[in-house]
Amino acid sequence: MSVFGKLFGGGGKGGKGPSPQEAIQKLRETEEMLTKKQEYLEQKIDAELLTAKKNGTKNKRAALQALKRKKRYEKQLAQIDGTLSTIEFQREALENANTNTEVLKNMGFAAKAMKTAHENMDIDKVDDLMQDITDQQELAQEISDAISRPVGFGEDFDEDELLAELEELEQEELDKNLLEISGTEDVSLPSVPSNPLPKKTAVGSFHAVHSIST
């Protein structure tokens, strides 16, 4: 059995391996355990460093022993750091693989559903149905056009004839207006007075007789 098989509790020959979810959970538990081990070693390193400083040259042997233990703890801590990096990488890869598996599974499920839906379809029936829909839409449009068309306005007329008739009507209207204007502009003459004109005075005759006599 492999190391990972022992770690994840895999069975022997013929045994079913752990699921991705189980493996991810185991890796997380291992990460948690190693993180606690890191904290413990860091505390031990600080304690041994304090012991070495306290003894110093007064008790060189005790100080050296403390530094040796500190070095061992630091080596273990470095190993744990490397192990945690490896486990983290493996967990992330496993999570990505699990995600991809779920995605592919759902895509396969959708593909099967689509296949089942298409199997229940007859392409000829689909074409017939679409043709029926098109025909009904065209019929509906024709009915709509017929309903909206004003009654009695569907005749075709020659536009030139209509324009000629319009010009005749305008000319008739113009002539009528001119006649009305001519009738209103006639100036009436003043009436002849009924009284007779005054006769010439005798002044003129007097002057004539006077000039002859002189």
- Determine the pLDDT at residue 90: 93
Instruction: Count structural domains, the chain.
Output: 1
Q: pLDDT for 184-207, tens place per residue? A: 655 455 555 566 655 555 444 444
Question: Domain range holding 40?
Answer: 19-123
25 found inside a domain: yes
- Determine the pLDDT at residue 42: 95
145 found inside a domain: no
- Determine the pLDDT at residue 153: 52
Nearby residues of 90 by Cβ (< 8 Å), 6 or more positions away: 27
Sorting pLDDT into bands at 50, 70 and 90, what band is 48?
very high
Sorting pLDDT into bands at 50, 70 and 90, what band is 208?
very low
92 found inside a domain: yes
Question: In this structure, what CATH number is given to the domain that contains residue 112?
Answer: 1.10.287.1060
Bigger pLDDT: 104 vs 180: 104
Give yes or no for a contact between 91 and 25, defined as CB atoms under 8 angstroms apart: no
- Determine the pLDDT at residue 206: 45
39 found inside a domain: yes
- Determine the pLDDT at residue 107: 92
Q: pLDDT for 140-174, tens place per residue? A: 998 888 887 766 555 566 788 878 888 888 888 88
For residue 60, is pLDDT > 60? yes
